[in-house]
Amino acid sequence: MAERKPIESWLTDMDGVLMHEGIPVPGADTFIKRLRESGKPFLVLTNNSIYPPRDLHARLARIGLDVPVDNIWTSALATAQFLDDQRPGGTAYVIGEAGLTTALHDIGYVLTDHDPDYVVLGETRTYSFEALTKAIRLINAGARFIATNPDETGPSAEGALPATGSVAALITKATGREPYFVGKPNPLMMRAGLNAIGAHSETSAMIGDRMDTDVLAGLEAGMETFLVLTGLTRSEEIELHPFRPSRVVDSIADLVELI
């Protein structure tokens, strides 16, 4: 195997890597500080589409992680960029929160329930039966079905919560139409993020806590991949997958020395 080039830019997942249930992972603050001091391009990624980057910046700052707004990349931003490339100035019926609606407004999309080009599904704290019924009927009438990410569950202090993937499955069952998922593990989200910071996959690394999204997305985008064991994946689960990360470490603190 050819030796990889030195890492010049970094992409890292947020939940399970930098923080866990709202608490910073030991060493995450040092990692971010070292990245900013190095001047190397980096992005903090999340498949969660609920919050705009400014809100995520504030949430991270409250726990001691100073990540600039421009260094935050969400599935909502990736979805908006994808739709802007596919059908500029289009229309969409959206199920989601401010992170998604703001991203779509910013690219000039009109949000409507009257004959939209797309039905766009993202996370929300309260999935409405009325909204889901409307989405099903619009898709049956010809709207294209887009989902921000395929995550079936999300974390909370009380346990797992249903996420976009689970709700998308409900809509698919009712319509027979599969959505196009923009977020991880779709390498589209990673490549768009790399383009946003002027980075190249052969000199970039992806850090994540999930084999099925973070590591897979990094692998398919051509990046070096690091799996941390501070999130959802246990070490004994790695061999259950037909692919492997470039390296497994206990936490992001073990990667500070590589910057």
Q: Which residues are part of the catalytic machinery?
A: 13, 15
Name the nearest CA neighbour of 10 among 204, 232, 237, 218: 204
Q: Is the dihedral of CA 249, 252, 253, 254 positive or negative?
A: positive
Backbone angles phi, psi at 25, to 5 degrees: -75, 130
> What is each CA distance from 114 to 148, 172, 173, 177, 212, in whole angstroms?
21, 21, 23, 19, 36
Cα angle for residues 247, 232, 30 (degrees, 5° grid): 60
Cβ contact 132:170 at 8 Å: yes
